[in-house]
Amino acid sequence: MDIAVGLFAYIGALSLTAIASVLLALFVALRVRAVPGSTLLAVFLLGVALWSIAQVPPAILGPVAGPVTTTLIALSPLPAAGFIHLAFAFALCGALRPVAVAAYATAGFTTLIGLIFGVGAVVPWHGFPGMFVPSVVGWCVLGVAALLSILGHLRLAQTWREQDGWHRRQAGAVFVSSLIGLVALTGFAFPALGIDAYPWPVLLLPFYSVALVYGIVRHRFMAADVWARRGLVWLMLVAGAGAASALIASLPLALAGRPAGLFATWGALAATLALGLAILAPLKRLADRIVFPGGRISEADLAAWRDRLAEATDETSLGDLARTLLRHRLSLPTDGPTLTVEGEAVTLVGWADAPIATRHVAERFAGLVTESARRLAVARQLVDAERAARLAELGALAATVAHDLRNPLGIVQMAATGAPPEVRSEIGEQVARMNHLVTDILDYARAWTVVPQPLRVADLVASLGVGVDVPEGLLVTADRHALLRALTNLVDNARTLGTRVAIIADAGPPLTIDVCDNGPGIAPEIRDSLFRPFVSRRPGGTGLGLAIVRRIMEAHGGTVTLAERPGWSTCFRLTFGASR
């Protein structure tokens, strides 16, 4: 390898490692400082950066840089102690405090010895202006640093063997990245060991930073949100792009040598800088597209989104579809930033720290989702209006039917007074059944106008003659007559099918009242249509009782649903939006 190129690659690898380590330390300190162990990791990363910077001046200035380099190398046991502290803290070791005290005490004592007696010198070597060669004391200092680092790696390896799931993968990722760093550090031993070869292991140092970033991002070693992790990747890619552009732009100057003359030097440096910026611009755009995809919106994108969102039939399906489309567009994880749809309100959740361009995409998309939610609301209002009109027609028809049927039924019952007792009984039973059906039709078709008022739940259900489990003093805001009718319908159904019936209330919020029985339960074939008219769960029923309950609860702004309670086969739950 050409000496100039090799020296440039050596300095570039160290500089890139220092930059990446500082960026990682800042990321940890600013974005995940609340996570246990973050301070230790930041200190260790700064130690790596310090070590890398310490090796650069000798390669540029030669022996003149000796005092600075030897001082920084004498401090190398301290970040190694920080690493062993981090490894034992990550492993949730019960002996963390004694291990940390011993590690820092050993590192501090070794550093003091190195500062007092010196750790070595910087000498020219293998075409390099200077490389650090340790003395006997220096070997001891570096040996202690290596020993502490090895102990930390052994603890991580033990954690990898003993744990499972995320903790195991996290330990493995940090172990592998740090192992790359240890292998890279062997390149600095070439001069001391008399190995007359280019220190190629040093070129692996940037891969240590890349592997550590991968461990943090892929296995979530630090509990950072998706934007922090992506921001970290973006910083690393841009730093790598900057180093690559600087390397490519400086290569002609390194091969041709420094031009003679001040103006020629300035011209060469200006051309190198311009070339580096020209190379950096497309590399940065590539990093943007890799880390933050989908940042540009076209009219075709908007049209495609509108078409897909139009497939939703209600707010639930609209929310699910919108979240799927947004995740696919921006390559988001399932537990990452999202949006919610509640009625006509569309809310972005987890986008506060997103980059401006990415947040703009989410906001434009949320605007389209809002349009779709409004269309669904309008369509629902039209359906409700049509349904109300039909119910009004049904109510008028029911009133006519009731008038036309009840008079003949009364005449039939009166005419049966002279019939034999068994015939009179049968006629009376059928007339009562017809009257009950007419009443149910009228109740279902009527417009339930409720006058809510505070009611004591215990007093309301006391007259129903079933078991009661209601908190003392519980109040519900409801229309007494309408709610009593709903509860009576449910209790009558429950008594017909079960031997044990109970009313159970919960203050919530929201306030709920359950009517439960121990009957045969709900047949699967009618479960989805249970609250529709003329669907009955008991023989001889009109099929309007549960439909009337639903109408009453809708008038109160509440719902009636099936619920699950241990010990009961069937429970109907009344849920009230307004309670206290």
pLDDT digits (tens, 9 = 90+) for 282-329: 766 666 666 556 667 788 888 888 888 888 888 888 889 988 888 888
Tallying the residues shown for the chain, one arrives at 580
User: Which residues does 500 contact at the CB level (< 8 Å), separation at least 6?
Assistant: 467, 517, 518
Give the whole-angstrom CA distance, residue 317 versus residue 309: 9
DSSP track, 505-573: EE--SSEEEEEEE-SS---GGGGGGTTSTT--SSTT--S-HHHHHHHHHHHTT-EEEEE--TT-SEEEE
Binned at pLDDT 50, 70 and 90, residue 223 comes out as: very low
Q: Which of 479, 414, 492 lies closest to 452, judged by CA?
A: 479
Q: Which of 344, 313, 308 lies closest to 326, judged by CA?
A: 308
Average pLDDT over residues 144-170: 78
Binned at pLDDT 50, 70 and 90, residue 106 comes out as: very high
Binned at pLDDT 50, 70 and 90, residue 161 comes out as: confident
pLDDT digits (tens, 9 = 90+) for 384-433: 788 777 766 766 776 677 667 767 777 777 777 767 777 777 777 777 77
In this predicted structure, what is the pLDDT of residue 230?
58
Q: Which of 169, 189, 220, 168 lies closest to 73, judged by CA?
A: 189
In this predicted structure, what is the pLDDT of residue 571?
93
- Provide the percentage of residues in the chain whose pLDDT is more than 90: 10
Q: State the pTM of this model.
A: 0.46
Give the whole-angstrom CA distance, residue 233 versus residue 222: 14
In this predicted structure, what is the pLDDT of residue 245?
61
Binned at pLDDT 50, 70 and 90, residue 243 comes out as: low
Give the whole-angstrom CA distance, residue 190 versus residue 198: 8
Token pair 């009618």: residue: 526
In this predicted structure, what is the pLDDT of residue 580?
38
Is residue 319 within 8 A of residue 340, CB to CB? The reply is yes
